[in-house]
């Protein structure tokens, strides 16, 4: 892992843990994570398919990260 990707990873984690989202890790699977946002009171799946993206379990849609 080079310095740029390390910095990007840390910025990504800071965003997930920020007061804007306040995600908690609920479950880990082989190819996705289940996160809970204390801010929106919703569950999200963090998946990877050539890019990381979040999907809301209840309302659909996705957000590329």
Q: How far is CA 42 from CA 7, 11, 33, 49, in A?
A: 28, 22, 14, 22
Q: What's the whole-model pTM score? A: 0.72
Q: What is the structure's pLDDT at 64?
A: 59
Among 19, 49, 55, residue whose Cα is nearest residue 31:
49
Q: What is the structure's pLDDT at 28?
A: 92
Q: What is the structure's pLDDT at 6?
A: 85
Q: What is the structure's pLDDT at 34?
A: 93
Q: What is the structure's pLDDT at 65?
A: 59
Q: Do 64 and 53 meet the contact criterion of CB atoms below 8 Å apart? A: yes
How many Cα atoms sit within 13 Å of 19 on the Cβ side? Answer: 0
- Can you say whether residue 29 is alpha, beta or left, with left for phi > 0 and alpha for psi between -120 and 50 degrees? beta
Regions in the chain scoring below 50 on pLDDT: none
Q: What is the structure's pLDDT at 55?
A: 85
Q: What is the structure's pLDDT at 36?
A: 92
């Amino acid at each position: 892992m080079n310095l740029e990707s390390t910095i990007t990873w840390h910025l990504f984690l800071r965003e997930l843990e920020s007061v804007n989202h306040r995600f908690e890790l609920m479950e880990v699977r082989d190819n996705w994570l289940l996160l809970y946002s204390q801010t929106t009171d919703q569950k999200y799946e963090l998946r990877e398919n050539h890019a990381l993206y979040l999907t809301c379990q209840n309302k659909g849609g996705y957000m590329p990260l």
